[in-house]
């Protein structure tokens, strides 16, 4: 029996390696789809990869402004739209923020976000069976679902053990 991959990174994980792997994944996805991974798209993704916490668009701009001239909001929003369309970034609806994703799935894959109320980290777990059930219930009532976002707030394992 194999254990599922943890939803949250260990506090002492190699974040440099984590970031490098996510960027390599993004490059591969863009190459596979014949999409351009432009410098601004890379920089926006790197800003989001600076931690495992979701960032608002203006927080991304602030992060980018540390190492380059402050980009226009529309530039960042366009990069975020591209990254979301290619499954490299998720929007955390309840936080009006964005989270980098290095998992191998497209923008339509069902996931549930586990949001730690203490440390702010966000984990991601597959939620296809759950989302299918919700969508089926919606369709049976005559509703045509387009998007299901599942966000679960609580406390991550690390915060539970260090409370």
Q: Tell me: the pLDDT tens digits for 46-101? A: 999 988 889 999 999 999 999 999 999 999 999 999 999 998 999 999 999 999 98
In 65-154, alpha helices (H) = 73-85, 128-140
Rounded Cα–Cα distance for residues 14 and 10 (Å): 9
> pLDDT band for position 147 (50/70/90)?
confident
CA dist 157 and 147 (Å) reads 29
Of 73, 25, 52, 154, residue with least CA distance to 60: 73
The chain-wide mean pLDDT, for the chain, equals 88
Give a yes or no: residue 31 inside a domain.
yes
Q: Are 150 and 130 in contact (CB under 8 A)?
A: yes
Report yes or no on 2 lying in a domain.
Answer: no
Instruction: Answer yes or no: do 157 and 97 share one domain.
Output: no
Would you state the structure tokens that stand for residue 69, as one six-digit string? 């001239």
Residues 60 and 26 in one domain: yes
126: domain range? 110-163
Entry pTM: 0.84
């Amino acid at each position: 029996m194999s254990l599922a991959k943890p939803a949250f990174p260990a506090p002492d994980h190699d974040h440099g390696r984590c970031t490098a792997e996510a960027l390599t994944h993004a490059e591969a996805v863009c190459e596979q789809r014949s999409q351009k991974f432009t410098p601004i798209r890379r920089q926006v993704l790197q800003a989001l990869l600076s931690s495992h916490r979701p960032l608002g668009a203006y927080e991304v701009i602030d992060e980018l402004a540390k190492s380059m001239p402050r980009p226009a909001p529309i530039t960042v929003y366009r990069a975020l739209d591209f990254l979301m369309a290619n499954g490299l970034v998720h929007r955390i609806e309840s936080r009006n923020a964005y989270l980098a994703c290095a998992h191998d799935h497209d923008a339509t894959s069902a996931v549930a976000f586990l949001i730690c109320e203490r440390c702010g980290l966000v984990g991601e777990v597959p939620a296809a069976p759950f989302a299918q059930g919700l969508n089926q219930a919606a369709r049976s009532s005559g509703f045509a679902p387009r998007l299901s976002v599942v966000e679960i707030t609580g406390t991550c394992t690390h915060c539970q053990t260090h409370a």
